[in-house]
């Protein structure tokens, strides 16, 4: 399935996503752009027992031979785009997650987004270490539930 055509989103007037496809190691990384893509994403989220808010643009999918290997979504809270969730079918393959994040950042830059928010729950403390290693990520607040970051691109 190939992504093509313009997509409207809350960050820009209109974005042509046809060029947001990359293939690395037999895996296709692309923007979800139709109901089937989002249904596949929701299925993987449910399969992995991840709590996730409603996904919006951009949600990046990693496909190989018709199998969804992972996704990195976006949700919006108070008009602010938040990164997440990151869901990997095979967590032992961390490069899929790294490439999803790289593709996500490329799409965000191309649509004119200069920064996005990240929230890390305290029970995901290991993830906080990864976020702090990301260029441009800065801790903004700590709550009883977790940590709020802003990442500038």
- Burial class, 100, CB count within 10 angstroms (exposed 0-12 / middle 13-18 / buried 19+): buried
Three-state DSSP at 90 gives coil
Rounded Cα distance, 133 and 147, in Å: 14
Query: pTM here?
Result: 0.83
Rounded Cα distance, 103 and 58, in Å: 10
pLDDT given for residue 1 in this prediction = 32
Q: In the chain, what is the straight-line distance between the N-terminal and C-terminal CA atoms, in Å?
A: 29
Q: In the chain, how long is the greatest CA-to-CA distance?
A: 43
Model confidence pLDDT, tens digit, residues 35-75 = 999 999 999 999 999 888 899 989 999 999 999 999 999 99
Whether the per-residue pLDDT at 5 is higher than 50: the answer is no
Res. 110 pLDDT band, cuts 50 70 90: confident
């Amino acid at each position: 399935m190939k992504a093509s055509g313009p997509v409207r989103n809350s960050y820009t007037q209109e974005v042509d996503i046809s060029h947001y496809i990359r293939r690395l190691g037999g895996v296709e990384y692309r923007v979800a752009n139709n109901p089937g893509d989002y249904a596949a994403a929701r299925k993987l989220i449910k399969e992995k027992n991840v709590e996730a808010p409603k996904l919006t643009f951009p949600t990046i999918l990693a496909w190989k031979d018709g199998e969804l290997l992972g996704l990195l979504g976006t949700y919006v809270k108070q008009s602010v785009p938040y990164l997440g969730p990151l869901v990997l079918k095979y967590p032992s393959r961390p490069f899929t997650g790294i490439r999803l994040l790289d593709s996500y950042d490329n799409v965000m830059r191309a649509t004119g987004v200069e920064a996005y928010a990240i929230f890390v729950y305290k029970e995901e403390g290991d993830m906080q270490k990864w976020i702090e290693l990301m260029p441009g990520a800065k801790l903004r607040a700590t709550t009883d539930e977790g940590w709020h970051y802003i990442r500038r691109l």
